[in-house]
Amino acid sequence: MAEQLPLSGVRVADFTWVWAGPFCTLQLAHLGAEVIRIESESRLCITRRIPPAADGEAGPNRCGYFNQYNQGKSSICLNLKKPEGLEIAKKLVATSDIVAENFAAGVMDKMGLGYETLKAIKSDIIMIALSGYGATGPESPYVSYGPAQVPMSGLASLTGFPDFPPTNVGFSYGDPNGGLHGAFAVLAALMHRARTGEGQYIDLSQWETSVAVLGEGTMAQEMNGSPPQRIGNRDLYMAPHGLFRCQGDDRWVSIVVADDNEWHKLCAAMGKPELANDARFATLAGRKQHEDALEAAVTAWTETLTDEAVTTRLQAAGVAAFPALTNKELAEDQHMRGRGFFAELPHPEVGVRQHAGVPWVFSDTPCTVRRSAPCLGQDTEDILQRVLGYSADEVAVLKDNEVLS
Amino acid sequence: MSEHNSPTPNSQPPGPLQGIRVIECGHMVGAAYAGKLMADLGAEVIKVEEPGGDSARQRGPYPGNTPHPEKSGLFLYLNTNKRGITLNLETSKGQELLQRLVQDADALVHNYHPTQMSALGLEYEALARHNPRLVMTSISPFGQTGPRREYTAHDLTMWSAGGLVFLGGAGGRPDLPPLKAFGQQAGFQAGVNAGLASLGALYGRLSSGKGQHIDISVQECLVAIMENNYIAWPYDHTTPSRLGFRLIPQDVLQCRDGYIYVLAVEDHQWKNAVELMGSPEWANTELFQDFVSRSVNWDALKALLEDWLQDKSVQEVYHGAQKRRVPFAPVSTMGDLLKSEHLNARGFFAEIAHPEGGSLRYPGAPYKFSASPWALRSPAPCLGQHNEEIYGGQLGLSPEELKSLKETNVI
């Protein structure tokens, strides 16, 4: 075996698709697990079908969404509607440590791959199901898409400008949040198995993981019978606290002043000592009371400068500020590049593209992206022969019988 | 793994992280949420606060909106199942006590800024001399290395630096700024990343026998969750924003008594939604015949949908749609969540009494383990609540030594 990674030797039979599930297993791949995605030509993952495609040219192996979130994994194609396909899936489970899936509740059971069945095949298997509603409860059969978790969890009702309706956050936050919590749960189950020898079933509800990151919201309701109000980018305990217009087209900088001392630093950095002496702004209570005027005063300064110039000047003064970065600026960011964050491995169809990589630097067992995302079914023959012990002839017969499609 | 058997306070089976000892230091959300995730699954987490307390204690919500350091809803939520001690890491005696705590720990998670770590005795090499098996996880805004490592940050500036703020906000309103998500989302994302990276290293340690240092950049954690929005630049040089066109017919729409989230991805879902609306004539026009046309003509469609929704209740539309396999969802208020029949049937909210904060329902298990369940065993610690138990009991300091530590403001 090559270099030892935290999850070296751990195998994941990955039945997930779309985003929450694949994001869960991506974390396990980052940590060194062998993650095998079970795919099907007749039921292509939606992330192989939607933009962005490399240079705008569509194709199942050319989509950025899939290629971003399936780095480090392998892919086999199995027709699970054929008994031989189902049997191969079960053989794979028998050699695996973890099974991951994110179908609606009950779908794996119907396919003949429910936990009780798999546990009979591999007694210490750890199985995680990441569904929208969880495996139990009256609404568990309901249909759930990732974007719905932002409104369902209440995050949308807490997000937005005053006098505006509840507002979504611009991306399907419930998916990666569920996936990360799922990866955490799987690791905890691996620790439990290491200590006791026992596997288990983990029922993860994306609705619930989405509420888990809104503790202040439900606690406010529970304590006082009313939720926090929508206050845009403002904060109850800090001011100024917002995004301020800068030079250029739709350019903005975020600025946060945590206390009176930082307010004086901001005034000095803006070259506006008169603001520091303005009694309206001397205390947090005053700055909150006159926040419109406060923000207008800060904007009068920021809109004469670039977001970079504001950031450089305020950071030098010890005030938190940062531009609202676009994806282009992220891709061109020299700080993250210097840290080795981006993963740029060659891919047979899209060449070298700059993917987001692993957001953690391990000092002893460096976790990096070790291969680009797989083409559809790229590893079918290898997994069948190397892992499951089929001969080349047997694989050819399975192919002819449309089991591997 | 260190052997340490504390009595289980109730009859529930122990959590999957039983026997893991974690030290948590810092302020606010990142380290505390990592600690909570582990503590709620049975790890023994010691929360180390500065004598003045975690700054999360200074943020609400508070009962009756009256600030009180033991009653912050944010703090109470983030620190369940932990024991709490105070320790002044700016003193050499404080650092020596931290080293003694670390000798006995499996992991240390903190979110002190990289520029503060050395002054607080939080350098990995120094701590590893006392325990080479230590897994230490450092959360920082931009990481431990690189030209921006000294930049200061808060949740809003991180949501900006991670590229997410540029995606949020009011569509079609270039006069309004991009919009952050409610709360402390950058902190929560840092926390769950820190928790899983720490467990990954602890699992690896079972075979390597070695600890290590993990450097977590919050900015990178956020770039990693941008859906297909980051990767759009390397793949086709497009830049999504709150102002751009979105190829998905979906929105938050007003009902009689609240808001519903309307989404119909597949054609059969749209057909069923039309049926639910009583098959109005307008639904047959070419304007709305497929996914793409419904996206392109969304403004017109939205007005028609809102006209239909105005006298309906959220729950009637939600359940009616879902019975037809249409993935509409309620735009929940916090009150709706606490009342939700589904969440309550799953036992999601967990109630526990805190000596100062009173008895409250908390968001509970985000995942259900069949063999070793999540459990709410104890409420968040009061400031310094376990000083005597840990310094006296665990580290074996005498009552005189404890008294002297208090007098010299070390604890």
**pLDDT tens string A297-310:** 999 999 999 999 99
Q: CA-CA distances (angstroms) from residue B387 to A69, B75, B98, B289, B411?
A: 45, 19, 13, 68, 8
Mean pLDDT (whole number) for A201-228: 97
DSSP annotation of A72: T
To the nearest whole angstrom, how far is the Cα of B403 from the nearest Cα of chain A? Answer: 34
Q: Are residues B89 and B197 in the same domain?
A: yes
pLDDT at B11: 64
What is the DSSP secondary-structure string of A78-118? --TTSHHHHHHHHHHHHT-SEEEE-SSTTHHHHTT--HHHH
Q: With respect to residue B232, please indicate whether it lies within any of the assigned structural domains.
A: no
Q: Does B255 touch chain A (CB under 8 A)?
A: no
CB-CB contact of A44 with A129 (8 Å) = no
Q: Are residues B46 and B160 in the same domain?
A: yes
CATH number of the CATH domain containing B152:
3.40.50.10540
Nearest to B233 among A148, A208, A331 (CB): A331
* Contact check, Cβ <8 Å, B372/A154: no
Nearest to A324 among B166, B208, B219 (CB): B166
* Contact check, Cβ <8 Å, A171/B179: no
User: What averages of pLDDT result for each successive group of 10 residues across chain B (411 residues)?
Assistant: 42 90 98 98 98 97 97 98 97 96 97 97 96 98 98 98 96 94 98 98 97 98 97 96 81 96 90 95 90 88 95 97 96 98 98 97 97 96 97 94 93 88
Q: With respect to residue B374, please indicate whether it lies within any of the assigned structural domains.
A: no
Q: With respect to residue B325, please indicate whether it lies within any of the assigned structural domains.
A: yes
- Burial (0-12, 13-18, 19+ Cβ within 10 Å), B279: exposed
Q: Structure pTM?
A: 0.97
Q: With respect to residue B303, please indicate whether it lies within any of the assigned structural domains.
A: yes
To the nearest whole angstrom, how far is the Cα of A96 from the nearest Cα of chain B? Answer: 17
To the nearest whole angstrom, how far is the Cα of B402 from the nearest Cα of chain A? Answer: 34
CB-CB contact of B156 with B180 (8 Å) = yes
Q: Does B272 touch chain A (CB under 8 A)?
A: no
* Contact check, Cβ <8 Å, B217/A19: no
- The verdict on whether omega for the bond into residue B61 sits within 30 degrees of 0, i.e. cis, is yes
Mean pLDDT (whole number) for A339-367: 97
Q: Within 10 Å of residue A285's Cβ, how many Cβ atoms?
A: 9
Q: Looking at chain A, which residue has its C-alpha nearest residue B322?
A: A142
Q: Does B375 touch chain A (CB under 8 A)?
A: no
B94 phi, psi to nearest 5 deg: -60, -40
Task: Give residue A106's pLDDT band: very low, low, confident or very high (50, 70, 90).
Answer: confident
Write down which residue in B283, B317, B338 finishes a domain. Answer: B338
Q: Looking at chain A, which residue has its C-alpha nearest residue B325?
A: A143
How many beta-carbon pairs below 8 A join chains A and B? 516
Question: What tokens were used for A140?
Answer: 């568990």
* Contact check, Cβ <8 Å, B195/A158: no
Which among A20, A27, A221 has a CA at the least distance from the CA of A103? A20
CATH number of the CATH domain containing B309:
3.30.1540.10
Q: Are residues B168 and B61 in the same domain?
A: yes
Q: Are residues B219 and B278 in the same domain?
A: no
Q: With respect to residue B74, please indicate whether it lies within any of the assigned structural domains.
A: yes
Residue length, chain A? 405
Q: Are residues B149 and B27 in the same domain?
A: yes
Q: Looking at chain B, which residue has its C-alpha nearest residue A173?
A: B225
Q: Within 10 Å of residue B53's Cβ, how many Cβ atoms?
A: 19
Chain A interface, best mutation among B3, B37, B189, B228, by max A CB count within 10 A = B228
Q: With respect to residue B9, please indicate whether it lies within any of the assigned structural domains.
A: no
Q: Are residues B81 and B115 in the same domain?
A: yes
Q: Are residues B202 and B323 in the same domain?
A: no
What is the DSSP secondary-structure string of B228-280? TTTTHHHHH-----TTS--SS-EEEEE-SSSEEEEE--SHHHHHHHHHHTT--
pLDDT at A2: 53
Q: Are residues B26 and B111 in the same domain?
A: yes
Residue length, chain B? 411
Q: With respect to residue B260, please indicate whether it lies within any of the assigned structural domains.
A: yes
Q: Are residues B120 and B210 in the same domain?
A: yes
Nearest to A216 among B183, B204, B261 (CB): B183
pLDDT at A3: 72
Strand partners of residue B254: B259
What is the DSSP secondary-structure string of A173-222? THHHHHHHHHHHHHHHHHHHHHHHS--EEEEEEHHHHHHHT-HHHHHHHH
Write down which residue in B338, B366, B395 finishes a domain. Answer: B338
To the nearest whole angstrom, how far is the Cα of A394 from the nearest Cα of chain B? Answer: 37
Q: Are residues B109 and B215 in the same domain?
A: yes
pLDDT, tens digit, 9 for 90 and up, residues B369-411: 999 999 999 999 999 999 999 999 999 999 999 999 999 999 8
Q: Are residues B189 and B274 in the same domain?
A: no
To the nearest whole angstrom, how far is the Cα of A280 from the nearest Cα of chain B? Answer: 23
Q: Where are the beta strands (DSSP E) in B91-132?
A: 107-110
Give the separation between CA A358 and CA A367, rounded to whole angstroms: 7
Helix axis angle, B185-208 to B30-40, nearest 10°: 60
Q: CA-CA distances (angstroms) from residue A352 to A299, A331, A332, B234?
A: 41, 14, 15, 9
Residue A266 above 90 pLDDT? yes
Give the separation between CA B135 and CA B133, rounded to whole angstroms: 7
Question: What tokens were used for B355?
Answer: 């000596």
Spell out which residues of chain A touch residue B269, defining contact as CB-CB under 8 Å. Answer: 143
* Contact check, Cβ <8 Å, A204/B370: no
Q: Does B111 touch chain A (CB under 8 A)?
A: no
pLDDT at B2: 40
Helices (H) and strands (E) in chain A, counts: 19, 14
* Contact check, Cβ <8 Å, B163/A338: no
Task: Give residue A229's pLDDT band: very low, low, confident or very high (50, 70, 90).
Answer: very high
* Contact check, Cβ <8 Å, B229/A171: yes
* Contact check, Cβ <8 Å, B196/A184: yes
Q: Does B295 touch chain A (CB under 8 A)?
A: no
Spell out which residues of chain A touch residue B226, defining contact as CB-CB under 8 Å. Answer: 171, 327, 356
Number of domains in chain B: 2
* Contact check, Cβ <8 Å, A171/B164: yes
Give the separation between CA A17 and CA B66, rounded to whole angstroms: 47
Nearest to A31 among B37, B183, B200 (CB): B200
CB-CB contact of A96 with A102 (8 Å) = no
Mean pLDDT (whole number) for A40-58: 94
Handedness of CA A236, A237, A239, A245 (dihedral sign): negative
ipTM above 0.85, yes or no: yes
Dihedral through CA B392, CA B393, CA B397, CA B400, nearest 10?
A: 40
Chain B interface, best mutation among A45, A119, A159, A222, by max B CB count within 10 A = A222
Chain A interface, best mutation among B331, B351, B376, by max A CB count within 10 A = B331
Q: Are residues B43 and B185 in the same domain?
A: yes
Q: Looking at chain A, which residue has its C-alpha nearest residue B225?
A: A176
Q: Domains along chain A? A: 11-213+339-400 (3.40.50.10540), 241-326 (3.30.1540.10)
* Contact check, Cβ <8 Å, A51/B336: no
- The verdict on whether omega for the bond into residue A52 sits within 30 degrees of 0, i.e. cis, is yes
Q: With respect to residue B282, please indicate whether it lies within any of the assigned structural domains.
A: yes
Write down which residue in B318, B338, B358 finishes a domain. Answer: B338
CB-based contacts of A302, cutoff 8 Å, min separation 6: A244, A245, A246, A253, A255, A310
Active centre residues of A (catalytic): 175
Question: What tokens were used for A53?
Answer: 């495609």
Spell out which residues of chain B touch residue A159, defining contact as CB-CB under 8 Å. Answer: 168, 179-182
Chain A interface, best mutation among B2, B179, B218, B246, by max A CB count within 10 A = B179
Domain assignment of residue B303, given as a range: 250-338
DSSP annotation of B380: P
* Contact check, Cβ <8 Å, B160/A339: no
Chain B interface, best mutation among A31, A136, A171, A205, by max B CB count within 10 A = A171
CB-CB contact of B49 with B383 (8 Å) = yes
Handedness of CA A13, A18, A24, A28 (dihedral sign): positive
Contacts with A, B 58-77, CB within 8 Å: 58-65, 73-74, 76-77
* Contact check, Cβ <8 Å, B204/A228: no
Q: Is B26 left (phi over 0), alpha (psi -120 to 50) or beta?
A: left
- Compute CA A312 distance to the chain's CA centroid, rounded to the nearest angstrom: 30
